[in-house]
A and B are shown apart, each in its own frame.
Chain A
Amino acid sequence: MTDFVTRLEAELHSAAVQREGSGHVRRVALPRIRVALPSIPAAALATALFALAVAAAALILSTSPERAADMGVPPTLRGVWQAPPKELRLYPRGSDRCLNLGVGSSSACYTLGASASSVAYEWGRLSVDGDKLTLTGLQNSTPGVYRWRIEHGTLRLTKVDDPVSARARALVATPLHAVHPSQAKARLPIGWASHPFPSSRFGYSLDLPFRWKADTSGPADRFALDPYRGTLPSLSVVARDLPPGTGTGTWQVIVNARAGTHCARDAWYRKRPVDGLAVMVSDFKGCNGADEQLAIFTHRGRGYVVRWRGKQGRMDAEAPLFDALLRSFDFSR
C-alpha cells in the first residue's frame, strides 16, 4: 500500500466516523450568498443583518450553561462519589478509563459499582446538559436522565426518567459524597472482557472488552478499540508450530532473539495463569513510546506470543487489564 492509499483511507475513515456519529453527513458546505453589484444597498443590509445575527449568537452562547456534547463533564462533577455501598465515578472525555472501558475517546464516561471494593458493575457514556445528567450503560444501552446539583460537597441526583430501576435506586436514595481518588483506586469492572473471540488459525479463544475489534488480516491477530489505526492499548497474539520437543524456554530464546535489542529492556516479571498454565509475564518500556507486557509460552506444540502495548506510564494501571485478558484464554474451544 502506498502513502496515497493510506492517506485516502484516513480521510475516508474520518468521514465515515463523522457520518456514524451524526447519523448523517456533517460539515456540509454552506451555500454561497451572491449579491449582484447593482444591488449594493441590499448587500450592505444583508451584511449588517448577518453581523447582528453573529453578535446575538455569541451573546447567547456566552451566557448559556455548559453543553454536554461540547464540554463533557464540568470539573465540579468529575471524580468519585460514594454513598456506601454504592459508588459513582464520573470521568471526562478522553480519559484513559473511558478508553479502557470501551467507551472511546469522544465521550465522557461513568462507572457504577461497589464502594467497598471499587469494582464496577455498570459503566457507559455520560453526557451533561446544564443540570441534566444522562447515563447510558454500555451493557443495556438504556439512558437514564437525572437532574444534578452539588450542595456542601455532596452530589444530589433527582430522577427525571430512568427505566433501569436498580440504577435509579442506587443513585437517588442518598446524597453522594466526594471521595479523594487516591482513597478509592478503581478496580477492573466485572465483565470487562466478555465478548468471545475464537481464532481458528492459532487455536485459541479469548474474551475481548466491549467495543474492542479484531484485525486478523496480518500475520498476528490484533485487538484494540481501533486496531486499524493503531490505537493504544492494544493486544496482539501470534502463534507458530514448533518442532517436536521445543519447550517454553527455547521458544522464549527464539522470540527474544528475533525481537532484537533495539529497545532497552529492563523487564519486571510476574507469573500469571493462562488456561491452567503458569506463564511468566514481563513488562518493560518498549519501542515507539509505548510500554509493553509480554507473555511467551508454548501449548500443544505451538509457541505463542501475547503482547500488550499501552501508553507510556500506564503500566501499573494496565497490568490488571492484561492479566484479565490472559485469564480469559482458552485452548479447548
Chain B
Amino acid sequence: MVLTQSCSDDELLTAGGPDGFAVFYRRHVEAILGYHVRWARNAEVAADLTAETFAAALEAKDRFRPGGPPARSWLFGIAVKKLADYRRRGYAEDRARRRLGMERVEPTNEDLRWIESLAGDVEVAEFIDELPADQRLAVTARVVEGREYEDIAAELQISTAGVRKRVSRGLAVLRGRVRESR
C-alpha cells in the first residue's frame, strides 16, 4: 500500500502497517494531547495518557473494523477510557506501553509548555463540566474533540440537526457563564 496524505484513517489502521499507524498517530496526536491536557489539567499527565492511548490503540487496531464508527471516534473512545482510569486511580497507567515493551517518553520543559498551550481556556473546560449531560457530550465531541456533526450524530443516535441544537445551546450557556465570571 502506498501511503499518501489522502489515505483514510480506516485504510491507515487496517492496511497501512507500522507506517500507516505512524501517519494515523501524527494526524491525531495533537487532538488527543489537547483533550487530555484540558481534562487532566496537567501537561505531564497528559503526555503519559496520550502515550498510553496510542499504545492501547496500537494493541487494539487489529480489532478495529472499517465501516463502523469513524477511527477518530474509536481513538477518542480509548482516550476517554484512559482519562476515566486516571481519574479513578489518581495516576496514569502504563499497562499497554509495558505490554508493547515501550519506554516512557519523558517530555522536556519545552514539550510541557507546548502541551499546556493546547489546553486553551481551562476555565471554559470547567464550565463544560457543569453543562447538562446531553449538551456536555455534544459540545465536548464537537468543540473539544473537533469531530464532525455527522459522526457525533451517529454515535449519539440522533439527527445531525439535533446535535447542532445541543452544541448551540451548550455554547450559549458557556458564553453566558464566561461573561458572568469576568
- Whether A12 and B54, one on each chain, are in contact in the complex, defined by CB atoms closer than 8 angstroms, is yes
Chain A residue numbers with a CB within 8 Å of B98 are: 29
Separation of A272 and B107 alpha carbons in the complex (Å):
49
Segment among B19-27, B145-153, B156-164 that sits at the interface with chain A: B19-27
Is B154 an interface residue, CB under 8 A from the partner?
no
Could you give, for residues 11-22 of chain A, a 1 whenever the CB lies within 8 Å of some chain B CB and a 0 otherwise?
111111111100
Q: Is the interface of B mostly helix, strand, loop or mixed?
A: helix
- Whether B25 and A9, one on each chain, are in contact in the complex, defined by CB atoms closer than 8 angstroms, is yes
Separation of A326 and B85 alpha carbons in the complex (Å):
54
B114 to chain A minimum Cβ distance, whole angstroms, is 5
Segment among A56-64, A137-145, A212-220 that sits at the interface with chain B: A212-220
Separation of A62 and B182 alpha carbons in the complex (Å):
76
Interface bracket on A? 20 to 34
B1 to chain A minimum Cβ distance, whole angstroms, is 8
Interface size on B, residues (CB 8 A): 35
Contact of A226 among B19, B29, B103 (CB under 8 A): B19
Is B55 an interface residue, CB under 8 A from the partner?
yes
Separation of A16 and B54 alpha carbons in the complex (Å):
11
B104 to chain A minimum Cβ distance, whole angstroms, is 9
- Whether B102 and A215, one on each chain, are in contact in the complex, defined by CB atoms closer than 8 angstroms, is no
Residue of A4, A20, A26 with highest tally of chain B CB at under 10 A: A4
Beta-carbon contacts under 8 Å, B105-150 to A: 105, 107-108, 110-111, 114-115
B137 to chain A minimum Cβ distance, whole angstroms, is 28
Separation of A58 and B108 alpha carbons in the complex (Å):
42
Is B31 an interface residue, CB under 8 A from the partner?
no
Separation of A216 and B114 alpha carbons in the complex (Å):
26
- Whether A2 and B111, one on each chain, are in contact in the complex, defined by CB atoms closer than 8 angstroms, is yes
A9-B26 CB under 8 A given contacts A15-B101, A215-B3: yes
Is A28 an interface residue, CB under 8 A from the partner?
yes
A200 to chain B minimum Cβ distance, whole angstroms, is 9
Beta-carbon nearest neighbor of A216 in chain B: B4
- Whether A9 and B22, one on each chain, are in contact in the complex, defined by CB atoms closer than 8 angstroms, is yes
Chain A residue numbers with a CB within 8 Å of B18 are: 13, 16-17, 19-20
Is A8 an interface residue, CB under 8 A from the partner?
yes
Report which A residues bind B (CB closer than 8 A).
1-5, 7-9, 11-20, 25-29, 195, 197, 208, 213-217, 226, 228
Q: A4-B108, A8-B50, A19-B58 are in contact. List 9 more A-B contacts (CB 8 A).
A: A5-B29, A9-B26, A12-B102, A15-B101, A16-B58, A25-B59, A28-B99, A208-B2, A226-B19
For the complex of A and B, the 5 pairs showing the least CB-CB separation, nearest first, are A27-B101, A16-B18, A4-B111, A15-B100, A4-B107
17 interchain pairs, CB-CB under 8 A: A2-B110, A2-B115, A4-B111, A8-B25, A9-B22, A11-B102, A12-B21, A12-B54, A12-B58, A12-B102, A15-B58, A25-B59, A25-B100, A27-B100, A28-B99, A29-B98, A214-B2
